[in-house]
Structure 1
Amino acid sequence: MLAAAHQQSDFGYSLEVDGRLKAEFATADGARAGAKELKKRFLLQQIRIYDAQTKTREEVHL
């Protein structure tokens, strides 16, 4: 994990929890691992991975 994220970055991957950016990762694998861990702990939260390069979001499901 790189740092806490409060705005969209131009590189890397960010975790969105209920529409708010929470953490930034350098790799997609790191972001997926972090997102899955959060989803296990907080099942009802909407967790997505934001890819800054393609400007797309991926919903995380268990």
Structure 2
Amino acid sequence: MKTLAASYSGIAFLNNIGIPNNVYKMIPYITTLIALAWTSKNASAPKAVGIPYDKGSR
């Protein structure tokens, strides 16, 4: 995606669409946000969330 954003002007099809160059530069960041949102559905909090660390309980 970063390569596409950097070389869009060399690709005639993408250059003729008329999309501003700022949109092409945002593509890597937008795809990263989409990928993080898609993969975060299965994420869960740690089991010890909210429990203070105690060295003696090991």
Which structure carries more helix by proportion?
2
Structure possessing the higher radius of gyration over alpha carbons:
2
TM-score (norm 1): 0.28
